[in-house]
Amino acid sequence: MTGGSKKSWAPVLQLSCGQDESGQTFRFDPVPSPSAVPSISSKDG
């Protein structure tokens, strides 16, 4: 299917292949890991 979304967290629709179709190949591009871990602190006190 052409015209898919490139948005993060886009839903995926998986359909079965037709009788004369050999199947589909999917490619998932890796996303780099974050370079830093955010700190969580409270502003109270």
Mind listing the pLDDT tens digit for each residue in 12-37? 777 777 777 777 677 778 878 777 77
Euclidean distance between CA atoms 33 and 31, whole angstroms: 6
How open is the CA angle 3-28-34, to the nearest 5 degrees?
Answer: 115
Euclidean distance between CA atoms 15 and 13, whole angstroms: 6
Report pTM. Answer: 0.27
pLDDT of residue 40: 77
pLDDT of residue 44: 63
